[in-house]
Amino acid sequence: MMLTPKQRLIFALDVVSVNEVRQWVRLLKGYVGIFKVGKELFTACGPKAVDIIHSAGSEVFLDLKFHDIPNTVAKAGVAAAGLGVKMFNVHTLGGLKMMEAVREAVDKTCGKGKRPIILGVTILTSMDEKAIKQVGIQGPVKRRVLHLASLAKKAGLDGVVASPLEVKDIKKKLGKGFITVTPGIRMSDSKPDDQSRTMTPKEAISAGADYIVVGRPIREAKDPVAAANKILEEVR
């Protein structure tokens, strides 16, 4: 299925109050296909944030990176599916059995083909070669990402969250139908902030990314709508 530029754009809704959620969704729902609810917002507001986004007619990416024993993650995945989100993620470092457990549980609950997109988080885009070595993972990063992405596909997940730098290789190895969601998106004139592996929106889509996650380049812009529009123009 061909995605429109709006459908490809995920806005990282990194705020801490329902009022802010309402304000940002009202402002950007005409330009953003999916709003990402992460740990900060979900911890502060819980499922209410998801309800607000759905009430505005928009989709949700629940970005909680579930990582626990298989039974716990399976139950968390079923709960996420019950919220009606378009996609949610688990951490691939939880292992094959954990990923299989959540996929099987959600398939059983929702019915195969009717469940949310389940993604596996590979290596965080804030981590470089030095950072992964510090936690005992031997590089290079790209090789580790490809290994974890392959494990996610083996478990029956729909795709992965990875930096745009790895997308081309993921698509080549695992197929064009294997979904890639890419954070680490920065405009050519943006600060990298705490991201280490980045690309511009145009570069990421050209590499094969299905969805791009953008937060601060829109949220911190003087004119967020203009910033979102600029991204949409870039990925057409």
Average pLDDT over every residue of 220-232: 95
CATH number at residue 228: 3.20.20.70
pLDDT band at 1 (very low <50, low <70, confident <90, very high): low
Q: Name the nearest CA neighbour of 197 among 150, 149, 131.
A: 131
Those residues with Cβ within 8 angstroms of residue 150's Cβ, 6 or more apart along the chain or in another chain:
173, 174
Bridge partner list, 10: 34, 213
Residue scoring higher pLDDT (165 or 113): 165
Q: Are strands 179-182 and 9-12 parallel, antiparallel or unpaired?
A: unpaired
The one-letter code for the residue type at 229 is: N
**For 119-149, what is each residue's pLDDT tens digit?**
999 988 788 778 888 888 887 888 999 999 9
Annotated catalytic residue, options 6, 36, 48, 65? 65
Quick check: is 130 catalytic?
Answer: no
The tally of domains found in the chain comes to 1
**For 185-216, what is each residue's pLDDT tens digit?**
988 666 555 445 578 999 999 999 999 999 99
pLDDT band at 227 (very low <50, low <70, confident <90, very high): very high
CA dist 151 and 160 (Å) reads 10
Enumerate the H helices of 138-186 as residue ranges. 141-154, 167-174
Indicate if the pLDDT at residue 37 is higher than 50: yes
CB 125 within 8 A of CB 183: yes
Show the domain range for 65.
Answer: 5-234
**For 48-66, what is each residue's pLDDT tens digit?**
999 999 999 999 999 999 9
